[in-house]
Amino acid sequence: MKKIDEEDFENDILYKLARRGFWGAVHTDLTHLYRGRGHLAGVFKKLAKNLVKKGFLIPKKSEGRDHVSLNPRMRKEIIERIEKHKKKYGLP
């Protein structure tokens, strides 16, 4: 089994949230980050916590569940990480 590159997964989370417009007060359920990759749910939850600690994500409790959104104060840094990620994987 290949080793999971945590930075790539973090960038994937940031990319997915930015692409869908989840900035600031617009948030989504944490489970939506790993939809289709349920076998990696634990990894995505751990990495989401890391992104909260780094200030990239804002946590929110909604309907008793964990929700997250991108921190608009970190917009420049987030966009830079996403652009590097897109180039690496040839994403639109």
Is there a domain that residue 18 lies in?
yes
User: What end-to-end distance do the CA atoms of the chain give, in Å?
Assistant: 28
pLDDT higher than threshold 80 for residue 1: no
At 21-60, the pLDDT tens digits run: 999 999 999 888 877 777 778 888 899 999 999 999 999 9
Average pLDDT over residues 67-75: 96
Is there a domain that residue 61 lies in?
yes
Q: What is the pTM of this model?
A: 0.85
Domains: count for the chain: 1
Residue 67: which CATH number?
1.10.10.10
Residue 59 domain boundaries:
6-89
Is there a domain that residue 16 lies in?
yes
Is there a domain that residue 1 lies in?
no
Is there a domain that residue 26 lies in?
yes
